[in-house]
Structure 1
Amino acid sequence: MSNLSSPWWLLLALIVAALAGVYVYIQRLRARRALRFANLEVLNRVAPVKRNPLRHVPIALLVVALLLLTVALSGPQADRKVPRNKATVILVMDVSRSMNATDVAPSRIKAAQASAKKFADELTEGINLGLVSYAGTASTLVSPTPDHTATKTAADKLQLADKTATGEGIFAAIQQIQTLNTVLGGDKAAPPARIVLLSDGKETVPDNPNNPRGAFTAARKAKEEKIPVSTISFGTMGGTVDLEGDQVPVPVDDASLRQIANISGGEFFTAASLDELNRVYEKLQKDIGYETRRGDNSRPWLIAGTLLAILAAFAALVINRRLP
């Protein structure tokens, strides 16, 4: 009953049941009246022993159709995903030099740029999208805006730099969301927000993620602001970069990125290739760009009831040569 907006309409089912009962009563009454005929020849003509067993099919279909239409009138409700009208998403992308590793073709940074642009292309219209990059420091390249082409343009211009200050990237994203929320009328009127962090390595600045500007501290701040941080660990354990002729290992650091997601209330993903990264972004698009709402679900019941009513009428004409 909790899934019905107008459950009192179900009382009409009692009327439908009464109609079915009246039909059964009339059929039995006809049989009893037939037995009153003394002339067996007349009896066989009026009420033959072998009657078409399908003669009851039309009324049975009609009863079921009426029951389905009664359910439709009662307003069945269902949860469904609908596009969000508003939300804020900040892409935070690691541009440290380890992103130049080629274990993900053509390189980690090139693949990350391609996937970020694809994400911007397919994100639901109306959602504010921004872009923050970070290496030793964080830079806000695009403030949150419904113009997703700005993020695509900025993603093409990402430049690699030394060090990895993951906390600074998260803090910069939080600040952008807070600024937008103030413009929109404060936290109560603000749309839901999400930070999507893509990185391939461990934070190097500061050396302790629990420091005031560290990644874990930033994740706790995000949780305080009710902004989940979804992290994507991008690359492989065997990645290397060429630094002045030396191949330096740059393995992906899953542990810290998983911890950031856990602390902030977000989700952790791994992606070892561009295809995997695109699949992660597709899932995030569904999570971010759509929301679950309870709404009217009477249409399937209405369609089924109407089709059965039409079928009942057709069956009555074919089987009984008349409408039920």
Structure 2
Amino acid sequence: MGFAQPLLLVALLAVPVLLGAYVWQLRRRRRVAVRYSSIALVRAAAGPVRSWRRHVPVGLVLASLALLGLAAARPQVRADVPVSSSTVVIALDVSGSMCATDVQPNRLAAAQQAVRGFVQAQDEQTKVGLVLFSGFSQLAVAPTTDRDDLVAALDGVTTGRGTTIGSAILTSIDAIAELDPGVQRSDPVDAAGAAGAGALSPTPAPSSTRPATDPGAPGGGPGGPASSPGGLAPEIVVLLTDGANTRGVTPQQAAQQAAERGVRVYPIGFGTKNPTQLVCSRDQLGDASPRFGRGDTSQRYTDAGGRNYLVVDEPALRVVAQTTQAQYFSATDADQLTSVLRDLPRHVTVQQQDVDLSAWFALAAAALLVGGLALSLRWSTLS
């Protein structure tokens, strides 16, 4: 157990001081007591007396003061506490690499099925939003309880070039900010080449013109009015991707903004480390999508440094999870992905937080004080 205001523990010094004063007063009374010629006559007149009774109320009052001193210092313990998830924003990677067939029938089809099941399994009070990202990120469905809109959007996704993980996180933050006044919209990031490369949404994103967050403003940080205990917002982001960020704001930059707003981002790395050929269905390709051919993908999707963009960038995703006080998950096939999404609420709704116990200490102090006064009144009337 720790204390948020340990300096206030100095108030506990009042307890031994008052105890010393009480003992001194008892001794003083003995010295100035009236002397009778026969102590036996006094005892007979007073009846049987239990000397310890008169000390009990004083002891209870002193114990009450000690508990009040501890309460003033705000005692805290680290414990698992429930954190509600009233809104879940799913950021789904729809880049061309999601056509890899190392997961049957391909990664995107398996992800669509798993996310569809996750959406339909949520209760009626939980709002779910959908962000799609490839070469740019966009809010496909604002957080809603209408499952039909979400399923329709999932069924109609098409693939594109590029993977903008960082942009997807910022778009998810903005979607949450529309619902929660305690969460600020994302700040602009210095990525001059990102817009030209198509890393941002084709529609003007509000985050690109919004001023920087003021930590002193309402909702300007993790301690905003709508944030949950411990600085965590009740809304979360589930980021599902199979590759690495290829352009725009980095995942680490975006994760820092999410952490400043108390938004947790749970990344899910999907796919194996040995991707095979890319085969998209006609619906997944769309009219504007390039037609990925069959054959070896090891060269076409490898950068100059040997980085394969078809393989999950686990180090970056782990940093995102750690930065936002969340957890990283890995899924190499459809069954594992379904299992991760099914078990996700158990990881999301319980967090390690500092629980303030000052109210319980104050309540115990009040109970001792009332008990001491009640005993004092009762025993004084019986004597």
TM-score above 0.5, yes or no: yes
Higher helix share: 1
Shift of residue 4 of structure 1?
3.5
- Alignment CA distance shift 1:79-1:191 (3 Å): farther
Structure 1, unaligned stretches of length 5 or more? 204-208, 210-214, 245-252
- Alignment CA distance shift 1:191-1:92 (3 Å): farther
Q: How does 1:179-258 map to 2 (within 5 A)?
A: 179-182=205-208, 185-189=210-214, 196-199=238-241, 201=242, 203=243, 209=244, 215=245, 220=250, 222-223=252-253, 226-227=256-257, 230-233=266-269, 256-258=312-314
Shift of residue 167 of structure 1?
1.7
1:65 partner SS = helix
State how far apart, in whole Å, the 1-side matches of 2:58 and 2:70 are. Answer: 19
- Alignment CA distance shift 1:257-1:160 (3 Å): farther
Shift of residue 33 of structure 1?
5.6
The AA in structure 2 aligned to 1:198 is: L
1:112 aligns with 2:115: yes
The answer for the alignment partner of 1:157 in structure 2 is: 153
CA deviations on 1:112-153 (whole Å, 9 max, x unpaired) are 223246679666x8xxx7522357x6662437x5x4347872
- Alignment CA distance shift 1:25-1:173 (3 Å): closer
CA deviations on 1:183-222 (whole Å, 9 max, x unpaired) are 5x323259679863214x4x4xxxxx5xxxxx26567365
The answer for the alignment partner of 2:38 in structure 1 is: 39
- Alignment CA distance shift 1:99-1:168 (3 Å): farther
The answer for the alignment partner of 1:301 in structure 2 is: 361
Higher strand share: 1
CA deviations on 1:152-191 (whole Å, 9 max, x unpaired) are 72344313778786724554554675523345x3232596
The answer for the alignment partner of 2:300 in structure 1 is: none
The answer for the alignment partner of 1:140 in structure 2 is: 138
1:270 aligns with 2:330: yes
CA RMSD of aligned residues (A): 5.6
State how far apart, in whole Å, the 1-side matches of 2:159 and 2:61 are. Answer: 74
The AA in structure 1 aligned to 2:115 is: A
The AA in structure 1 aligned to 2:344 is: V
The answer for the alignment partner of 2:130 in structure 1 is: 131
State how far apart, in whole Å, the 2-side matches of 1:166 and 1:122 are. Answer: 35
State how far apart, in whole Å, the 1-side matches of 2:129 and 2:157 are. Answer: 20
Shift of residue 227 of structure 1?
4.3
- Asked if the contact 2:271/2:312 (under 8 Å) is kept, the reply is no
The AA in structure 1 aligned to 2:90 is: L
Shift of residue 270 of structure 1?
3.2
CA deviations on 1:251-290 (whole Å, 9 max, x unpaired) are xx99724223145556422362645424435544667xx9
The AA in structure 1 aligned to 2:11 is: L
Between the two proteins, what is the percent identity of the paired residues? 20
1:158 partner SS = helix
The answer for the alignment partner of 1:76 in structure 2 is: 74
State how far apart, in whole Å, the 2-side matches of 1:116 and 1:191 are. Answer: 30
Shift of residue 57 of structure 1?
1.4
State how far apart, in whole Å, the 1-side matches of 2:340 and 2:48 are. Answer: 71
The answer for the alignment partner of 1:312 in structure 2 is: 372
- Alignment CA distance shift 1:161-1:40 (3 Å): closer
- Alignment CA distance shift 1:219-1:110 (3 Å): same
Shift of residue 58 of structure 1?
1.6
- Alignment CA distance shift 1:310-1:321 (3 Å): same
Q: TM-score if structure 2 supplies the norm length?
A: 0.51
State how far apart, in whole Å, the 2-side matches of 1:99 and 1:160 are. Answer: 22
- Alignment CA distance shift 1:83-1:197 (3 Å): closer
The answer for the alignment partner of 1:4 in structure 2 is: 5
State how far apart, in whole Å, the 2-side matches of 1:49 and 1:307 are. Answer: 29
State how far apart, in whole Å, the 1-side matches of 2:139 and 2:9 are. Answer: 56
Shift of residue 3 of structure 1?
3.1
- Alignment CA distance shift 1:21-1:152 (3 Å): farther
1:28 partner SS = helix
